[in-house]
Amino acid sequence: VQPQASGGGLVRPGGSLRLSCAASGSIFSIDNMGWYRQAPGKQRELVVSITSGGNTNYADSVKGRFTISRDNAKNTVYLQMNSLKPEDTAVYYCNAAITGVTGRTLRYWGQGTLVTVSS
């Protein structure tokens, strides 16, 4: 089971990007899914998470600009990022708590996708 993230790129300040992260494999269920980011020289931080029931938790720095959503049928989580700022520049990682067909639950990280906000 390996979540695959996509959608990063270069965007100008004020622009938008949409990230996707799809999990595949022997999956029974997925509980929490989320996005983290790590800027150069900084620690990885939580951007936003979402439960299987749709409850969300946003970092204060992205509230009102970013929106997380998920498609449980596709085992996919999305991150719509609007009004991007240079300080949003980072490698974005998806994370998912996945229960396999054996009943064991593990947290998996996607491979990371680079978002660069620059004029």
Q: What single letter denotes the amino acid at residue 47? A: V
* Whether the predicted pLDDT of 2 surpasses 90: no
* Whether the predicted pLDDT of 20 surpasses 90: yes
* Whether the predicted pLDDT of 1 surpasses 80: no
**Contact between residue 78 and residue 5 where contact means Cβ atoms under 8 Å apart:** no
CA dihedral 77, 79, 80, 82 (to 10 degrees): 170
* Whether the predicted pLDDT of 15 surpasses 90: yes
pLDDT tens readout for residues 24-79: 888 999 999 999 999 999 999 999 999 999 999 999 999 999 999 999 999 999 99
pLDDT tens readout for residues 68-117: 999 999 999 999 999 999 999 999 999 999 999 999 999 999 999 999 99
